[in-house]
Chain A
């Protein structure tokens, strides 16, 4: 990728903790502009917590997160809140505001943060919905549509402010294989057409190999990152047995050799 030199996010000696309980320590990695970066790990490893740190919902106990050159948690709260409008976040459950229709969900950030007329805002919302295949669903409430549609609507909302960086928390959780594949395609298209940087938390192997440029593996037992790089390369040359096993869906390297010709 031509843009691979530009660094979008730097995670520097990050430590995450709930009170005295340290979840992960010594996380160090960089996410480049325009890349699809996967945060993977076993259950309970703190992948989603790491995402909450990246989007400003939880303060790191130590270390730093930098967007470009700016220290994210070093900013005063108001500034950080303004800064986070550059992000789009797709939450695990969609997190659409249940008291509003799909169109209103998308229009709210547009109305409050951008200088558009009411007509423009409504048109933009419809267009964003059509991008995710939900044209005509403007006036539906989140409770009236299926889980897969809700996720796509949430994606449309995440893209409302044309974000520089998109975050996805377990995008394929609760989706059938076809919808989940479609979402992967959509993610790839978004990156290619908008040039956004995309950070995905997932443990869905099919997704990981389809979309990832780079990935970090956070280990629940080691409580730190144990692998960093392209998932396919990590699968073929795993830095540790656990990472190899994870990327081969539980098949350890030895047993694979035995089974092989």
Chain B
């Protein structure tokens, strides 16, 4: 006879026997109490069963274990876990387990837990992924996303063709609202960013050019840099974050909500109805945004030129006018239109391909923004090389 817990307030147990092959484990005290006393008591239960099953035990062979819970003050699920583990251990040692002495509620819960046998094989996630498997999986993934992109592009083209023939159905009010959101409502952020970029560009140039008294060329630097490169690229990045992400989230939520399915069963093409007006709105508004960004960027450079370098307003304007021609502005606007379409495509595509859960919509928005920005930077690089080769 041995007692593990002297005071009856913390979890403990008392072992009776084994006598005549029967070991009785009396659970004592409060098993709903502090974690350490409960876990050491559960370990003691397992140890007692392990000892009882030992064929070399002095007390002779044990065939049955009685669990007695009559003296328990309190218990929670941890007792059940301990008893379940004890039962499993007893089974492994071919010991009979008698749970009759436990409170009714406890027995009912244990019965419930055993009612449905556990699934044969557990799902194993902890298996380390092999490097080769990882490479293969990513390759398959890339292949799939390429073919999905292809399909989406093809569908957009078909949709555009239907629009040209006047057969595409969408709501004019939707289209106007998208123009409102992508155009006028974007003026604030596009404006702030481009003024500041003009200022930064002006400063960078000023520090260098001042060294050999060529301050006036700050106007050239800002005007050329802004119209050809910075305005379209930064507007693109701002719009990818602002509108691309919003498109993906809107369409993804509609996917979750079965709203896109509902459109399909009413015979509407979701491409025409949802994607087309969004794309057209961005493609129309983007060139205008780029022109606006050009003007504000040049204004930023002008602030530096006039404020810091003592260039007069007329001089600065005259120099700017000489530095750029329509070709430079047109190049920026063309780039802007292409970026607009890229932002619309990445936003709408990830929205339409979104899964049907809240986290999938979040993923879709993230993917839309990230791939939109990457597409814009890559496209800017392609343009830089092309204009250099073609001498534009």
Q: Which residues of A contact B (CB under 8 A)?
A: 52, 55-57, 81-82, 84-85, 87, 89, 91-93, 95-99, 108-109, 112-113, 157, 161
Number of B residues, CB within 8 Å of A = 17
Q: Evaluate contact between B267 and A85: CB separation under 8 angstroms.
A: yes
The 5 closest A-B pairs by CB, nearest first: A95-B258, A95-B262, A91-B258, A85-B267, A109-B266
Beta-carbon contact of B259 and A112 below 8 Å: no
Contact between chains at A81 and B269 (CB < 8 Å): yes
Answer yes or no: B264 CB below 8 A from chain A CBs.
yes
Which residues of the partner chain B approach A56 to less than 8 Å between Cβ atoms?
A: 264-265
Given contacts A56-B264, A57-B264, contact A95 B269 (CB under 8 A): no
Please encode chain B, from 254 to 276, with 1 for each CB lying within 8 Å of some chain A CB and 0 for all others: 10011101111111110000000
**CB within 8 A of A84: which of B253, B254, B267?**
B267
Which residue on chain A has the smallest CB distance to residue B262? A95
Chain A residues, Cβ within 8 Å of B261 = 52, 57, 89, 91, 95
A95: which of B171, B257, B267, B268 is its contact (CB, 8 Å)?
A: B257
Chain A positions within 8 Å of B262 at CB level: 89, 91, 95-97, 157
Q: Separation in Å of the A12 CB from the closest CB of chain B?
A: 22
Min distance, Cβ A85 to any Cβ of chain B, angstroms: 5
Query: Which residues of B sit under 8 angstroms from A109, Cβ to Cβ?
Result: 266-267
Please determine whether A85 and B266 come into contact, CB atoms closer than 8 angstroms: yes
Is A89's CB under 8 angstroms from B259's CB? Answer: no
Q: Is the CB of A93 within 8 A of B258?
A: yes
In the complex the two chains form, is A81's CB within 8 Å of B267's CB? yes
Asked if B366 CB lies within 8 Å of chain A CBs, one says no
Which single member of B253, B257, B259, B265 contacts A87 (CB below 8 Å)?
A: B265
Partner of B267, one of A57, A82, A96, A157: A82
Q: Does B353 contact A (CB under 8 A)?
A: no
Residue of B253, B257, B259, B263 with most partner-chain A CB within 10 A: B259
Let me know if A89 and B257 touch, CB within 8 A.
no
Contacts of B263 in A (CB 8 A): 97
Chain A residues, Cβ within 8 Å of B169? 112
Q: Closest approach, in angstroms, between the C-beta of A237 and any C-beta of chain B?
A: 29
CA gap between A81 and B169 in the complex, in Å? 13
Chain B residue at minimum C-beta to C-beta distance from A55: B265
A113 touches B267 (CB 8 A): yes
Residues A57 and B265 in contact, CB atoms below 8 Å apart: yes
Contact across chains for B264 and A95 when beta carbons are under 8 A apart: no
Residue contacts A-B, CB under 8 angstroms, 24 given: A52-B261, A57-B261, A57-B264, A81-B269, A85-B266, A85-B267, A87-B265, A89-B261, A89-B262, A89-B265, A91-B258, A91-B262, A93-B257, A93-B258, A95-B258, A95-B261, A98-B253, A98-B254, A98-B257, A108-B171, A109-B266, A109-B267, A112-B169, A112-B268
Question: In the complex, how many angstroms separate the beta carbon of B275 from the nearest chain A beta carbon?
Answer: 15
Q: In whole angstroms, how far apart are the Cα atoms of A253 and B263 in the complex?
A: 45
A113 to B268, CA, bound (A): 10
Give every chain B residue within 8 A of A87 (Cβ-Cβ): 265
Which residue of chain B has the shortest Cβ distance to A90 in the bound complex? B262
Residues of A within 8 A of B253 (CB): 98
Q: Nearest Cβ in chain A — how far from B165, in angstroms? A: 13
What's the Cα separation between A113 and B263 when bound, in Å? 13
